[in-house]
Structure 1
Amino acid sequence: MSLNEPAATNQISAFLPDRMSGVELVGHGGFDKLQYREDIPVPRPGPSEVLIRVAAAGVNNTDINTRIGWYSKAVSAGTETGATEGFQSAKDLDASWSGTPMTFPRIQGADCCGRIVAVGEGVNAERLGERVLVRNMLRTYVEYRPYECWTFGSECDGGFAQYAKAPSAECYKVDCDWSDVELASIPCAYSTAEGMLHRANVSYGERILITGASGGVGSAAIQLAKRRGAFVTAVAGRDKADQLLALGADEVLPRGENIVEKLGKDSVDVALDVTAGPSFGELLEVLKRGGRYVVAGAIAGPIVELDVRTLYLKDLSFFGCTFQDDVVFKNLVGYIERGEIKPVIAKTYPLKDIVRAQQDFLSKSLVGKLVLVIP
């Protein structure tokens, strides 16, 4: 069968259902904007795309931030403030992470693990049956332009449904003995953490401070920083210290305590921050001269006070991390297959219980990833 024959794709697609279950986001706002349906049309892969039967999809902060419109510059509070009802101040024109309007309804879900069940024109049919992870920051749709990408589940439909389509080139086959749930915990959180470490060029023997260390990105960053041979100080709730030490953290600072008093000024090479908020100034104080501040989130509040003298007199470097070099996701797959990292699963939920999963996520009471299981 020729790989370029339309009939090949049609023959495969003929065995697919016409409708599927999934969760649609119908607008910015509260939990009521998440609508579970069982009559969503099953997508068909276009040229160079594959169709995936989704097995599991992780819950991420970006899903919630997008739902509530937190990315809008009209919002100045932390995520928690609008997590239930959304932000009335949010403007639809810039309420997505990319600063452009969202298209509704949208199937969210940046994390996706599943098996390829159909291929589009130009895709080798031998890919059928492969278990894959979808790279959450898609570059194919923007022709690989520097610092541009789509987020799976934001600019296109994602993993919160029984089926999802994605570019074949950005669906990575993974050979390992992990479960689907475990694999689904990786894409967004681990690529964010690895992207931060990659951008800051973290190396052996450096002292790394990680905020929000009990969450998906934070717990991933602990493992990935230790893999590089760094000394890791994690900031998290006091009740989570034992779990984070077991993940590899060298020490844990209770969240809310003064970081400067605990660590001392000029004591840290790199600060990996996903919280921002009131502790921002303390992070800069503990950085050594020539230190690096790396940020990929602001759940405690995006508006911070910066003494510019601290920035330039200490020769600090700031790294904002969203875009990821291609090597980041490729490396993650290698880490999995070589057993160099391990998944951290806090809890699983059926897809229809997505609201409960987001509520638990927002409670910050669990260590690791929350994952939706797709029926």
Structure 2
Amino acid sequence: MRAVRILEHGGPEVMEVAEVPVPAPRAGEVLVRVSAVALNNTDLWTREGAYGRPEDPQARSGWRGPVGFPRIQGADVAGRVVAMGADVDEDLVGRRVVVDPALYDGDGPDAHPVGLMGSERDGGYAEFVTAPAARVHDMTESPLTDDQLAALPTAYGTALGMIERGRLRTGETVLVSGASGGVGLAAVQIARARGARVLAISSGPKTGAVREAGAHEVVDRARDLAERIRAAAPEGIDVVLDVVAGDLVGDGLPLLREGGRWVVAGALGGFRVTFDVRRLYLHNAQVIGSAMHTPTHFRLLMDLARRAGIQPVIAAAFPLDQAARAQEELARRRHVGKIVMHP
């Protein structure tokens, strides 16, 4: 089969299109023919080795540690089950599926993700990929396209994990940073579906698309951001869904209402943060880290997708052999929505 692998950490030049054996599903696994695979920032950061390690923030690392090379990237897979290993229900063969890409620290419904397909194991930048049968969700009846289904796992899973951990309730005011990106746009859509009042931060050319996705108001990030947010929500913010971090945390924490929750799932604006801790404890605020989703969150997401309760936006599609070009397009951040590839 054709696959795109990274041979080491580095730029797009470390990616190669190769002919490799079709993986054989082991006991408890299925083999999925990939129809569409979506790109994420984690693809860029895993390729670059940009995640660091607890003991050395500057170390080159994958999502949760050293990457075994060569590695087939790609966390977000939609496709059809074509074969199975031992101890797997035969009824899955032929079903249209989405793969939960998380590797969990246990089997329970609230297990934490400690690894990711495409980083800690081979992923979907290929014609075929194996996955545990327990992590394959039957989406045969979903009206969403394969491209839209592939857009769901990482971006929408991360967004739903943030919303669940932040305990967002109907009628609350939520602020979404990086709202034109994959996770941000997903957060806007899901928060709006939850009945929240959605404020979004984006740049001028993309504000229309963010508003169309469900934001009640879009704040331009260009200048005087904290004051613009205060003007849009003078009563304060209940929940922040933040993939930017950096200066936004220190500037924005005073905008939280009593008992507000600031949920962080990214660091596009910088991973070193300074804030006035008095704004935290005097107002019973919480800063919550959120890495992807739990199995329970992912099942909720799949239920939402089966009834088309969300409509992922597809920005562009590339053939698999243009993976390097697709990643370069992702890195430019000129698009709104998700970039996908077709093996």
Q: TM-score band, normalised by the shorter chain?
A: over 0.9
Q: Is the 8 A contact 2:159 2:184 kept in 1?
A: yes
Corresponding residue of 2:285: 316
Deviates more, 1:161-170 or 1:124-133: 124-133
Residue pairs, 1:15-164, within 5 angstroms: 20-37=1-18, 39-73=19-53, 90-92=58-60, 95-98=61-64, 100-139=65-104, 142-144=106-108, 146-164=111-129
Name structure 2 gaps, 5 residues minimum.
Answer: none
Corresponding residue of 1:291: 260
Separation of aligned partners in 2, 1:366 and 1:360: 8
SS state of the match for residue 26, structure 2?
Answer: coil
- Aligned AA for 2:223? E
Q: Is the 8 A contact 1:347 1:371 kept in 2?
A: yes
The alpha-carbon distance between structure 1 residues 27 and 90, as it changes in their structure 2 partners (threshold 3 A), is: farther
SS state of the match for residue 169, structure 2?
Answer: coil
Separation of aligned partners in 2, 1:128 and 1:52: 9
Q: Is the 8 A contact 1:25 1:34 kept in 2?
A: yes
Q: Is the 8 A contact 2:63 2:120 kept in 1?
A: no
Corresponding residue of 1:177: 143
- Aligned AA for 1:102? V
Q: Which of 236, 239, 245 is residue 267 of structure 1 equivalent to? A: 236
Q: What is the TM-score when the length of structure 1 is the normalising length?
A: 0.86
Separation of aligned partners in 2, 1:35 and 1:225: 39
- Aligned AA for 2:127? Q
SS state of the match for residue 144, structure 2?
Answer: coil
Cα distance per residue 1:233-257 (max 9 Å; x no partner): 1101111111111111000011232
Corresponding residue of 1:228: 194
Identical columns (%):
40
Separation of aligned partners in 2, 1:250 and 1:303: 30
Corresponding residue of 2:340: 371
Cα distance per residue 1:69-108 (max 9 Å; x no partner): 11115999xxxxxxxxxxxx9424xx1221x211111111
The alpha-carbon distance between structure 1 residues 337 and 135, as it changes in their structure 2 partners (threshold 3 A), is: same
Separation of aligned partners in 2, 1:285 and 1:152: 37
Separation of aligned partners in 2, 1:362 and 1:255: 19
Q: State the 1:311 CA deviation.
A: 1.6
Q: Is the 8 A contact 2:157 2:292 kept in 1?
A: no
The alpha-carbon distance between structure 1 residues 322 and 70, as it changes in their structure 2 partners (threshold 3 A), is: same
- Aligned AA for 2:205? D
State which structure, 1 or 2, has the greater radius of gyration over its C-alpha atoms.
1
Separation of aligned partners in 1, 2:12 and 2:89: 40
The alpha-carbon distance between structure 1 residues 339 and 178, as it changes in their structure 2 partners (threshold 3 A), is: closer
Is 1:253 the counterpart of 2:219? The answer is yes
Q: Is the 8 A contact 1:348 1:371 kept in 2?
A: yes
Q: Is the 8 A contact 1:106 1:156 kept in 2?
A: yes
Separation of aligned partners in 1, 2:20 and 2:172: 49
Separation of aligned partners in 1, 2:327 and 2:294: 29
Corresponding residue of 1:237: 203
SS state of the match for residue 113, structure 1?
Answer: strand
SS state of the match for residue 343, structure 1?
Answer: coil
Name structure 1 gaps, 5 residues minimum.
Answer: 1-19, 77-88
Q: Is the 8 A contact 1:75 1:90 kept in 2?
A: no
SS state of the match for residue 112, structure 1?
Answer: strand
Q: State the 1:143 CA deviation.
A: 4.6
Q: Is the 8 A contact 1:214 1:244 kept in 2?
A: yes
Cα distance per residue 1:322-352 (max 9 Å; x no partner): 1522221111111111121111101111111
Separation of aligned partners in 1, 2:304 and 2:199: 22
Cα distance per residue 1:291-319 (max 9 Å; x no partner): 10001100121111122222212221111
Q: State the 1:263 CA deviation.
A: 2.6
Q: State the 1:285 CA deviation.
A: 1.9
Corresponding residue of 1:9: none
Separation of aligned partners in 1, 2:292 and 2:203: 29
Separation of aligned partners in 2, 1:73 and 1:120: 35
Separation of aligned partners in 2, 1:104 and 1:142: 26
The alpha-carbon distance between structure 1 residues 103 and 278, as it changes in their structure 2 partners (threshold 3 A), is: same
Separation of aligned partners in 2, 1:305 and 1:166: 40
Separation of aligned partners in 2, 1:278 and 1:365: 22
SS state of the match for residue 81, structure 2?
Answer: strand
Cα distance per residue 1:145-195 (max 9 Å; x no partner): 943432111111111100100000100001222221121111110000000
Q: Which of 279, 284, 302 is residue 271 of structure 2 equivalent to? A: 302
- Aligned AA for 1:40? V
CA RMSD in angstroms comes to 1.9
Q: Is the 8 A contact 2:111 2:295 kept in 1?
A: no
Separation of aligned partners in 1, 2:42 and 2:93: 30
